Each structure stands twice: as structure tokens, then as C-alpha cells.
Amino acid sequence: MPKEMVRVKRLMLDILKPHKPDGLEFSRSIAEQGERWRVLYAVEEMDEKTESVTVVVEGEDLRFDLIAAAIEHAGGTIHSIDEVEVLGEDG
């Protein structure tokens, strides 16, 4: 099956980011990259300068390149992709 026929529906990412932007602004910057994307943001750990967060992005056809660029633009770094849901054309 060609990869264009497989759609990414859900991603769970482990991210390290600075305190600014805050979680609301950070989540909005990701959600703005796609149509009707849902972003869930949870702080796992915090120190003086950074936060370790789990971000779940859900949508009909997620673009990882756009998500990664938004995270990097906000000063974040993706540590790992912890969960992925994909759907084939027949699924």
C-alpha cells in the first residue's frame, strides 16, 4: 500500500520545552497546523528552566513535519514518539 493511503490519526510525543510559551500557547501553535486537530497537553516534570510534557495530537490526517516544525519554532525538542495510530485506506 503506498504511504499516501495511510493516514496518521494520533501521535503521543514526549517533549522538552522552555516554560515560555505556556501550555495554552504551545498547544495552539500545534493545533493551528492542521484542520480540526485536537491537542492534549500534560506537564510531567518541571525544573527551573524547562518542562517535560506529553502532547497528544489527534486528527484525520496529521502531518508530522508540520507538528515537529511548530514544536521546534516554540523552542521545544521531541524526545520520543511514544504512541502512533495510523489508518489505512480500507480502515
Full pLDDT tens readout for the chain, 91 residues? 455 689 999 999 999 999 999 999 999 999 999 999 999 999 999 999 999 999 999 999 999 999 999 999 999 999 999 999 999 977 5
What pLDDT, on the 0 to 100 scale, is given for residue 5?
86
Q: Enter the pTM of the model.
A: 0.91
CA dist 57 → 12, 29, 50, 78 (Å)? 7, 12, 21, 13
What pLDDT, on the 0 to 100 scale, is given for residue 2?
54
